[in-house]
Amino acid sequence: MSSAGDLLHVVTNDSISAGRKSFGRAIIWGSAGVLVLVAALQLAQVLGWQDLGFQTWRPTLYAYVLWAICLCWGQVLLHGEHGKRTLFVLPAALFVISLTVFPLLFGLIIAFSDWNLSSPTGRQFNGLANVHQMWADPFYWNAMLNMVWYTLAILVEYAIAFGLALALNAEIRARKFFRVAFLLPLMLSPVAVSWMIGKSMLEPRFGPIARLSRALGWDNPSFFESPWIAKLTIMLMDAWTFIPFMMIMILAGLQAIPKELNEAAKVDGANGWRAFWEVTFPMMLPVSITAILIRIIFKLKLADIVINVTSGGPGGATDTVTSFIFREYRDRSNVGYGTLLAMVYLVVIVIAMTVLMKLADRFARPRT
């Protein structure tokens, strides 16, 4: 929505009195003053200048909430009808800013310090020591590499999802049943899935999948012992939960293709295979790219299954960056180092996604 000007034109003659305006300014600045004052008092307490009996930073939080409310209210007081428009977006914007921007800035400070939550010494700046540690940490880079493999698995998932969407889009009976059945894996929590499949069905002695693979001639099925099989198993479990997601997006795209196109292709003598590659697939390119990009975003957050099934083993073969940092915190409660790793990960993701989106944009543009 980049068009200039409102889609909805509202003409009002607001006559806002000077008193109302000054009241509006007063509550905004007044509450800001309260916020600053409370924060300053708490800071004084933390730095040990004065003991004012604050246990936590809660009062500052309340002052912040008060300021946010006053800011929203003040918009209406100051700008009348225009302020009421601002009120649509402002609460969400304030919410997101206060919950991401502040923690991220705070995280930057943490990232460059040595901070063990369980040790009494508290936080100490240690400059670039964390960076050096990260540079020499083979497990972190291994986890990064694993993320590349996991992301590449999306291509296979996409092919399967496309096939299923085509099957669902065909003239079939009981479509609703199949849709519900295909959707169900997406609804299940990854933690439950990691027990249901990872721990019980893949159990090497009695699990049904182990039994099946023994019947098929694999003598000693073990799914989590050799690195590549373990990685593959994690990929399969993740694919099982997320294929429905891609399938539904592709199905929506398929249903939006006008039927005439395929009929025209048929009249022109294209058989099913050629009609697919020359009509359906190119038509589906934008939807496919959206689906794959969103899927990549979700894949980069992959952790729950890994944490619960293999906890990164064997030897870090299944580690994702998230699960690695999770264990880094769980085992060593090393907040500083973990945060640095996460920050580096964020930078890598942002760069990678920007490049991917640019490439996708160029690729998806209709060729003339």
Partner 1 sequence: MTETPPPPAAAQIFYDSPGDQAFRVRWWTGRATVYALLILWSFICLFPIYWTLTTSFKMAPDVMKGHMLPWVDFSPAWLGWRSLGLSPDTWGDESTVRAEFLKRFSNSAIVSVVSSVLAVVLGSLAAYGLSRFSYKFAWMRNGDISFFFLSQLILPPVVLALPFLVLYKELALLDTRIGLILLYTLSVLPIVIWIMRDQFSSIPTELEEAALVDGLSIWGAFVTIILPIALPGMVAAFILSLVLTWNEYFFAALITSTHANTLPVMVASQTGSQGISWWSMAALAWAAILPLIVIGVVLERYIIKGMAAGAVK
| Binding span for partner 1 by CB under 8 A among 24-32, 138-146, 216-224, 343-351 | 343-351
21 binds partner 1 (CB under 8 A): no
359 binds partner 1 (CB under 8 A): no
| Binding span for partner 1 by CB under 8 A among 131-139, 149-157, 227-235, 332-340 | 332-340
State the minimum distance, in angstroms, from the CB of residue 2 to partner 1: 5
Mask for 215-254, x = binds partner 1 (CB under 8 A): -------------------------x---xx--xxxxxx-
In this chain, which of 37, 52, 145, 256 binds partner 1, going by CB under 8 A?
A: 256
Q: What string of H, E and C letters represents the secondary structure of 145-210?
A: HHHHHHHHHHHHHHHHHHHHHHHHHCCCCCHHHHHHHHHHHHHCCHHHHHHHHHHHHCCCCCCHHH
322 binds partner 1 (CB under 8 A): yes
Q: Which is nearer to partner 1, 18 or 258 (CB)?
A: 258
In this chain, which of 154, 275, 342, 360 binds partner 1, going by CB under 8 A?
A: 342
Q: Which is nearer to partner 1, 10 or 18 (CB)?
A: 10
Q: How does DSSP classify residue 114? A: E
For the chain, first and last CA: distance in Å?
Answer: 25
Q: Which is nearer to partner 1, 22 or 350 (CB)?
A: 350
CA distance 127 to 125: 6
| Whether the bond into 221 is cis, omega within 30 of 0 | no
Ranges within 122-161 binding partner 1 (CB under 8 A)? none
Q: Which is nearer to partner 1, 149 or 178 (CB)?
A: 178
Q: Which is nearer to partner 1, 149 or 298 (CB)?
A: 298
State the minimum distance, in angstroms, from the CB of residue 176 to partner 1: 8
State the minimum distance, in angstroms, from the CB of residue 189 to partner 1: 4
Ranges within 106-125 binding partner 1 (CB under 8 A)? 106-107, 110, 115, 117
> Residues 324, 325, 327, CA angle at the centre, nearest 5°?
70
Within 35-134, strands assigned E span 113-114, 124-125
Report yes or no: 230 and 314 within 8 Å, Cβ to Cβ.
yes
In this chain, which of 178, 232, 270, 313 binds partner 1, going by CB under 8 A?
A: 178
CA distance 131 to 154: 31
Identify residue 304 by its one-letter amino acid code.
D
**CB-based contacts of 302: which residues, under 8 Å, 6+ apart?**
150, 238, 320, 322
The sign of the CA dihedral 290, 293, 296, 298 is negative
Ranges within 55-114 binding partner 1 (CB under 8 A)? 55-58, 61, 81, 84-89, 91-93, 95-96, 99-100, 102-104, 106-107, 110
User: What's the CA dihedral at 215, 220, 221, 227 to 10 degrees?
Assistant: -150
**CB-based contacts of 130: which residues, under 8 Å, 6+ apart?**
111, 112, 113, 114, 336, 337, 340
| Binding span for partner 1 by CB under 8 A among 3-11, 21-29, 30-38, 128-136 | 3-11
How many chain residues touch partner 1 (CB under 8 A)?
110
